[in-house]
Amino acid sequence: MTQNKPLAVIYIRVSTEDQVKHGISLSAQEEALRNYAVALGYEVSRIYKDEGKSGKDIKGRPELQQLLKDAEDKKFQALFIYKLDRLSRSLKDLIETIEKFKQWNVDFVSLQDKIETTSASGKLMFHIISSFAEFERNVTSERTKFAMGKKARDGDVITRAPLGYKIENKQLIPGEHSYVVQEIYQDFLNNTISLTKLSKKYGLSVNGLKKVLTNYTYLGKIKFDGQIIQGKHQPLLSSTLFNQVQDKLKKILG
């Protein structure tokens, strides 16, 4: 291979449906892409082919999976495809995949869509696509936070059941071993045992024990986004015991 030329790869996919409806063959895609890559000064190092594969998602396409691995390993500098839907027909998959190429510093060229990051306008398109990806993540995050906040304000459980509880009909109820929580709090409050030994005694990690000892859920409350809200579930502890444990814990942890 000529060492002074950047390396490019080609990805081509054609489903059985495409061939029947449009007569788009792999060889036709390959020839057009190879000629374009060479014209732009690249040397084609590999052709990745997924024949007879659907474009609905990328999981069922072994060649594309290998391409992504090779891109992350920096085995080439540019990817050429015939059309964006050859990569994926899922907008979410498409945006996420193109964003990965950007992170890996791999130029991206879609022949029919006139999208390529080897030029200033192409780089701008890359930034726009990345912005859409960030926008989608932020919208999803906001929706999740809003939904969880609504559940918290309504006093409903928003996470998995902590030690001592179980979930039935989307509600927290005391579990079979709810008494263990009371035991842990009393044990911690009335003895000089270390957090490490206490955690081992109850089969917890030290961090897990700390979460149990500071969990407002045991007071019948829900903590979300810095706020403590009254829940609908039955408390397992009295506020007196809980507060005494908090005072002792603060002294130990400084």
According to CATH, where is 3.40.50.1390 located in the chain?
7-137
pLDDT tens profile 160-174: 788 999 988 878 889
According to CATH, where is 3.90.1750.20 located in the chain?
154-253
pLDDT tens profile 86-95: 887 777 777 7
Enumerate the active-site residues.
15
Mean pLDDT of 42-52: 90
Mean pLDDT of 79-90: 83
Mean pLDDT of 28-53: 89
Bigger pLDDT: 134 vs 194:
194
CATH for the 154-253 domain, from 3.90.1750.20, 3.40.50.11540, 3.40.190.10, 3.30.1540.20 = 3.90.1750.20
Per-residue pLDDT for 147 more than 70? no
Instruction: Write the class of the CATH domain 7-137.
Output: alpha beta
Bigger pLDDT: 191 vs 14:
191
DSSP the chain: --TTS-EEEEEEEE-HHHHHHH---HHHHHHHHHHHHHHTT-EEEEEEEEET--SS-STT-HHHHHHHHHHHTT--SEEEES-HHHH-S-HHHHHHHHHHHHHTT-EEEETTTTEETTSHHHHHHHHHHHHHHHHHHHHHHHHHHHHHHHHHHTT---SPPPTTEEEETTEEEE-TTTHHHHHHHHHHHHS---HHHHHHHTT--HHHHHHHHT-GGGGTEEEETTEEEE-SSPPSS-HHHHHHHHHHHHHHH-
Q: Note the pLDDT of residue 139.
A: 64
